[in-house]
Amino acid sequence: MITKDFIFYSKRNNSEAIRILSSDIYQAVEYYRSVIIIIRELLTLAAIIIILVFASSFYGISTFLILGFFAFLFARNIKNITTNNAKIILNLKAKIIEKVQNSLRGLKEIKIFSLEKIIFQNFSKDFAIAEKKVLINDIIFRLPKIFLEVLAIFFLVISLVFLSIKFNIDEIIPIITLLAAAIVRFVPSYTSLTSSFSKFKSMVPGYQSILNQISDNRIIEKDINFNKDEKINYKKDFSQLTFEKVDFSYEKPNIVLRNINLNLKKNSTYFIKGKSGKGKSTLCYLILGLLDPDKGKILFDNKIVNRNEIKKLFSYVPQECLIINDTIENNIIFDQKIEDNEYFKKICNDMGINEFIKIHKNTILGDGGDLLSGGQKQRIAIARSLIRKPKILILDESFNALHEEAEMNLINNIQKLCPDITLIIISHRSSASKYSDEIIEVLDDGSIEVSKNSNI
């Protein structure tokens, strides 16, 4: 899933993705395991019935047919119950994960608004229903063993009574022995067969979910290997990035950006402004190569290039800063390779992180970093983006938790750390525009208007 395009995730329910990874994959494996057990037990039963035919055992064959008939009736009658329960369980698991995520993200609001009881009740309701369905399916899986064992004992007793009336003891013993041996092997096979069939039906929704993922995502080996064997000719620099008559929409016919003509030059600063929801961030996603245009061309140095070739040119600081459950240093590094320790130290110093890292040096920040202020989180995110020494840095509302003087210092320090950098700043705060060479305004109709900054 992690190899898919950005637009795939923009429409994705995270709780469903977690459920697929934690539950559906297990069900798909169990689906195949059940198929193997069903085939094994069918072969076992076939071998036993062949032996009984050769032994001319009327009572053994009768046992086979009677137990088989009742096993078939049981499997047929419960298959819809287990399948429907499995579908309900999958949906409820996604809802439960979503509620846990929302509760953890909104913990402050829950406390402030005194919503603990309602949140707990809503969670408990879905959890109880899901566990009830799991319990019902579990009971169904175990029922065949009890049912068939009781039926087999009853049939054995009836056979013994009938034989005692018709035959003497010497004739009864071999028949009963063969009959008992058949029952001893029939019952486990039928039990396993019926239980596996029930489980097989209950695993169909999870199995189908994984098949849909494979089909929709078009997973191929080179995606999973992350192109390790391909020699990508990464661009290390650029002179200009050009948009030629670019249109984009997330869902047609609702066009978000239309007829975009834009020229971004190396070592320049751009300020993007516009009303909320009019396409400022979408424009940046197109620049980053996260989205492909519906119409028009995006050129690097007058050439169309593969998005993989340009990805090392960029860094990006999003509106919502990602803080993971780790130390400040590891949040900055974020699994990136540090090739120059002195440069990393300079980033921490120039981004003002050394001012608060002393207090929280070895502190685990927790998911979301509630121990830190908004401005501290933004400093961490900006520092993280500079490790790879980008040629183009997009700052998407990345100074909104900082005062104007801190904003000015950070922009100046970024330009000192990366002298040839192209900065693209998105902000509702007009103060950021004073550092830009050009101002790009996204208009209500999805077009843009570019103007020189008269204040420079």
pLDDT at 217: 57
Question: Which residues are paired to 315 by β-bridges?
Answer: 393
How high is the pLDDT of residue 9?
56
Query: Which residue is associated with the tokens 């003891």?
Result: 169
User: What are the tens digits of pLDDT across the range 391-437?
Assistant: 999 998 888 888 888 888 888 999 899 888 999 998 877 777 888 89
The C-alpha angle 269, 274, 278, rounded to 5 degrees, equals 120
pTM of the model: 0.68
Which position has the token pair 């190396």?
Answer: 266
- Count how many residues are written for the chain: 456
Using alpha carbons, select from 117, 116, 123 the residue that is nearest to residue 96.
123
- Predicted local distance difference test score (pLDDT) of residue 222: 47
Q: What is the pLDDT of residue 221?
A: 47
Q: Give the pair of three-digit tokens for residue 41.
A: 């037990």
Q: Taking CA 389 as the corner, what is the angle to CA 384 and CA 392, rounded to the nearest 5 degrees?
A: 95
Contacts of 440 (CB under 8 A, 6+ apart): 262, 270, 271, 272, 273, 283, 448, 449, 450
Output the pLDDT for position 271.
92
Distance CA 285, CA 291 (A): 6
Contacts 24+ apart (CB under 8 A), 213-219: 213/1, 213/20, 213/24, 217/1, 217/4, 217/8, 219/3
Q: Return d(Cα 437, Cα 450) in angstroms, integer.
A: 11
Say how far apart CA 228 and CA 232 lie, in whole Å.
9
Which residues make Cβ contacts (< 8 Å) with residue 45, sequence separation at least 6? 64, 68, 186, 189, 190, 193
The tens place of each residue's pLDDT in the chain, 456 residues long, gives 555 666 655 556 666 777 777 777 777 888 888 888 888 888 887 877 777 666 656 666 676 677 777 777 777 777 778 778 888 888 888 788 878 777 766 665 676 567 788 888 888 888 888 888 888 888 877 777 777 777 777 777 777 777 777 777 777 777 677 667 767 777 777 777 777 777 777 777 777 877 777 766 554 444 555 555 456 778 888 899 999 999 999 888 888 999 999 999 999 999 998 888 888 889 988 998 888 899 999 999 888 888 878 888 888 888 888 888 888 888 888 878 888 889 989 999 999 888 888 777 778 887 777 788 888 889 999 999 998 889 999 998 888 888 888 888 888 999 899 888 999 998 877 777 888 899 999 998 889 998 887 665
- Please tell me the predicted confidence (pLDDT) of residue 229: 44
* Residue 281 near residue 211 (C-beta atoms within 8 A): no
Q: What is the pLDDT of residues 98-131, one digit of tens each?
A: 787 777 666 656 765 677 888 888 888 888 888 8
For residue 315, what is the DSSP state?
E
Helix (H, G, I), strand (E, B) or coil at 359: coil
Give the residue among 400, 411, 65, 107 at the shortest CA–CA distance from 270.
411
Please, what are the domains in the chain?
Answer: 6-217 (no CATH), 240-452 (3.40.50.300)
